[in-house]
Amino acid sequence: MKLLPCLLALAASLGAQSDFLTSAEVEQIREAQEPDLRLEAYASFAKQRVDLVRNLLARDRPGRSILIHQALDAYAKIVDAMDDVTDDALARKLDLKKGIAAVERVESDTLSTLRRIQESKPKDLDSYAFSLEQAIETASDSLDAARQDLDGRAADVAAREEKEKKDRAAAMAPADGSANQSAEAKAAEKDSQKKAPTLMRPGEKPPNR
């Protein structure tokens, strides 16, 4: 099967670097300037990661658990990247119907595969159970968002950005308040240094004690 050598090469490439994309995939993302094209590319990468996991599980070979763990982590990060591209494009009011369709199709298929893997309880599941659970949760949330009405999702993105803007402004408030309080304290100190009021007439000296 020609697919297997390619997937194993992908596994070796992922193991050799800390990022979740290969150098060739990074270049492909750079070339895909349109959000639709980027989503389609990311969706393809996500499918490859799950295909890799499935093929690794089909062969009982030493060291497969670490490769499965890496592939699942990469898959979850790719899903997050797709969500970031989508939210950014919606904030800029760009058309995403084609890209969202690709995301929904791939996430639906890969999520079903991951759930079947989890239910089958492979013998080395303990080694990557957490990564598998995270991948399933991430894909499930992303799929729900992909199935959401785009206008509604765009409104959610706008509301979230507005809240983040207000939160940033609120975070600056304590510093500004401290500055104002400091200025008020200086003014009060200056006033306290003024000559104390007196009931003596001009030129009158205080009595000797």
CA angle, residues 178, 181, 182, in degrees to nearest 5 = 85
Q: Is residue 36 part of a domain?
A: yes
Provide the pLDDT for residue 197: 46
Predicted pLDDT of residue 205: 55
Domains in the chain, number: 1
CA 144 to CA 129: how far, in whole Å?
Answer: 23
Tokens read off for 32:
């895909």
What is the predicted pLDDT for the residue at 209? 45
Instruction: With residue 206 as reference, give the H or E element that holds it.
Output: none
* Per-residue model confidence (pLDDT) at position 17: 44
How many Cα atoms occupy the beta-carbon half-sphere of 134 within 13 Å? 16
**126 falls within a domain:** yes
Is residue 201 one of the residues assigned to a domain?
no
Q: What averages of pLDDT result for each successive group of 10 residues across the chain (209 residues)?
A: 50 56 95 95 97 95 93 97 95 92 97 98 96 98 93 85 84 62 58 49 52
What pLDDT is attached to residue 193?
54
> What angle do helix axes 129-146 and 64-91 make, rounded to 10 degrees?
20
Give the pLDDT confidence score for residue 159 in this predicted structure.
87
As a whole number of angstroms, the distance between CA 92 and CA 136 comes to 29
Domain span including residue 17: 3-161
Domain contains 75: yes
pLDDT of residue 64: 94
pTM over 0.75: no
Residue 203 within any structural domain of the chain: no
Question: Are 42 and 36 spatial neighbours (Cβ–Cβ below 8 Å)?
Answer: no
Q: What is the largest CA-CA distance in the chain?
A: 113
Residue 148 lies in a domain: yes
Non-local CB neighbours of 40 within 8 Å, separated by 6+ positions? 32, 98, 99, 102
Give me the pLDDT at residue 67, please: 95
67 domain-assigned: yes
